[in-house]
Amino acid sequence: MDDHADLSFQAGLRGTLQDCNWESQPKASSTLPVPLSEMKSSVLTVKRPFSTSRSSVDPKEIKKFQLLAQKWWDEEGEYSALHSMNDIRVPFIRDTLLNMSSNYHLGSPLSGVKILDVGCGGGLLSEPLGRLGASVTGIDPLEDNIRTADQHKSFDPVLSQRIQYKSSSLEEIVEESMETFDVIVACEVVEHVADLEMFIKCCSQVLKPEGSLFITTINKTQLSYVLGIVVAEKILGIVPEGTHEWEKFVPPEDLGRLLESNGFSVKTVNGMLYNPLWGSWSWTESTSINYAMHAVKSGAQGHSSPTDAPSETESEEHSATAGTAV
The residue-averaged pLDDT of 125-140 equals 98
Q: What is the pLDDT of residue 238?
A: 67
As a whole number of angstroms, the distance between CA 200 and CA 216 comes to 14
94 assigned ligand-binding residue? no
Residue at 142 is within a domain: yes
- Annotated ligand binding at 192? The verdict is yes
Domain with 141 in it: 59-219+248-297
pLDDT band at 102 (very low <50, low <70, confident <90, very high): confident
Question: 324: exposed, middle or buried (C-beta count within 10 Å: 0-12, 13-18, 19+)?
Answer: exposed
Domain count, the chain: 1
Q: Is residue 90 part of a domain?
A: yes
φ, ψ dihedrals at 150, nearest 5°: -60, -45
CATH of the domain at 197: 3.40.50.150
Residue 77 lies in a domain: yes
Q: What is the C-alpha to C-alpha distance for residues 82 and 54, in angstroms, rounded to an integer?
A: 30
Would 312 be classed as within a structural domain? no
Q: What percent of the chain stands above pLDDT 70?
A: 66
Query: Does the annotation list 187 as a binding residue?
Result: yes
- 28 within some domain: no
Question: How is 25-43 classified by DSSP, letter by letter?
Answer: ---GGGS------------
Q: Would you say 19 is a known binding-site residue?
A: no
Please tell me the least confidently modeled range out of 12-21, 134-143, 158-167, 271-280: 12-21
Residue 89, annotated as binding a ligand: yes
- pLDDT value, residue 247: 80
The answer to whether position 175 is within a domain reads yes
Residue 34 lies in a domain: no
Q: Give SS3 for 281.
A: strand
Asked if residue 272 is part of any domain, the answer here is yes
For the chain, what is the radius of gyration of the CA atoms? Answer: 19
Q: Check residue 81 and give its pLDDT.
A: 84
